[in-house]
Amino acid sequence: MREQLDRWVGVGSIIAVAVVPTVLVLMPWKKDQPAGTQGMPGPTPAGNTPAAPIPSPSETASPPVPAGRNSGVLPDINSPRPRGQGGGSRPGGGVMYATADDGARITRVKWIGKRTADISVASPALGSTQKVRLLVPKSWKATATRSWPIVYTFHGGDDSYVSWTRSTDISKVASGYDVMVAMPEGSNGSYTDWYNGGKGGPPKWETFHTREVPQLLERNFRAGATRAAMGISSGAQGAMTYAARHPGMYKYAAAYSGVLSMLSPGIPALLLFINSKQDPLRIWGDPVRDRANWAAHDPTSLAANLRGTGVYVSSGNGRPGPYDPSNAAPWDIRYLSETQVERASRDFADRARSHGVSITTDFYGDGSHSWGYWKREMHQTWPTIMRALGARKS
């Protein structure tokens, strides 16, 4: 194993790699815990060429979907279609939502209150049905002819699409602006279309997040083409990777505690260990043999593509801070992982600045890999993101 690690990460990286076995042992965290490693970065589509941006709503939008019984709220797809209204229908009634280009379709919409919906998506890219939690603003109506700017938020590993509303007050924060927020499932997919030995194929998480979900939201829920991306931990890496691989797709990308330099010394081994619950080589391939594919999904290698996008990066240093328990052991995963996150984030920031990227950083010192800091960072950056999107206060 030592020989294989040396081959993966190179001579001189053993100190960085030494923490990895401990990280692996300590990594699992319950989803209802507000702290812990939320899974580091993940893979993307096979091949080394960035995918093309998704079409804008003007190129792809479908006619307005009819409103349901509750004015301003789309009916559940399993409910009867209101009489006298046009639009598609399903056998036995219900609304037929517009599909994505690859056939991805909405199979159910469950409203939780007036402005939160859980949307089930049958995804060809993933070969499964996954959920997206959507927040809509006070001004939103299903029958509107306008669209709304939208923030796509990505969760960490060993977590799910509910994490942002469970662990932060993002619903309250977003309600103060005329903006939509989408929180798609990311599972432990590492925010990439898996390499699978160069064959590609499912799971294709990047396709789900950057093509299927935006197209469905733009065609059925009035989401606009003015977008921002925001994420924590592996979701932070996902947000920045997507922004770099799809230049111009997002006006702003914010990454809180993400591994943003996948090829820094020791980091490939760290990512392989973190993903070892499954075959980690299926994700990006071998970091030596398939280095080109790793580089094609590495925010630092792609930093030049972020010119013209507003970028925010933050992390702690892995020492106990104000949101950490007083009785946590020094080898707690929250601390060990954040030391490597900060190192990789600084490498990314240096490369981004060298390419003239408009980047703001907050390496705030004491702090671990946990939700207390990410919630604080979300509050701190939200007004800037809203300005980038042109979202008015509501």
pLDDT in tens, 196-217: 999 999 999 999 999 999 999 9
Q: Alpha-carbon distance 24 to 135, whole Å? A: 34
The model's confidence at residue 300, banded by pLDDT at 50, 70 and 90, is very high
**Domain definitions of the chain by residue range:** 2-48+99-389, 63-97
- Number of DSSP helices (H) and strands (E) in the chain, helices first: 13, 9
Query: The pTM is what?
Result: 0.82
Express each pLDDT in 111-160 by its tens digit: 998 999 999 999 999 999 999 999 999 999 988 999 999 999 999 998 99
Instruction: Find how far residue 71's CA is from the centre of its chain.
Output: 31
E strand residue ranges, 185-290: 223-232, 252-256
Q: What is the pLDDT of residue 332?
A: 84
Examine the pLDDT at 320 and tell me if it is beyond 80: yes
- Can you name the residues that pair with 370 across neighbouring β-strands? 35
Alpha carbon dihedral 251, 190, 154, 183, in 10-degree steps, equals 110
Report the chain's mean pLDDT, rounded to a whole number.
82
Specify the pairing of strand 310-315 against strand 252-256. parallel
pLDDT of 56 strictly over 80: no
By DSSP bridging, strand 252-256 and strand 223-232 are: parallel
Query: Residue 286: phi, psi to the nearest 5?
Result: -80, 130
| DSSP-assigned letters across all residues of 65-103 | PPP-SSTTSPPPTTSPPPTT--S-B-TTS-B-PPPPTT-
228 forms bridges with which residues in the sheet?
Answer: 151, 252
For domain 2-48+99-389, which CATH number applies: 3.40.50.1820, 3.40.50.20, 2.60.40.4070, 3.60.21.10?
3.40.50.1820
Question: Using alpha carbons only, what angle is made at residue 158 by residues 162 and 253, rounded to the nearest 5 degrees?
Answer: 65
| Mean pLDDT computed over 357-386 | 98
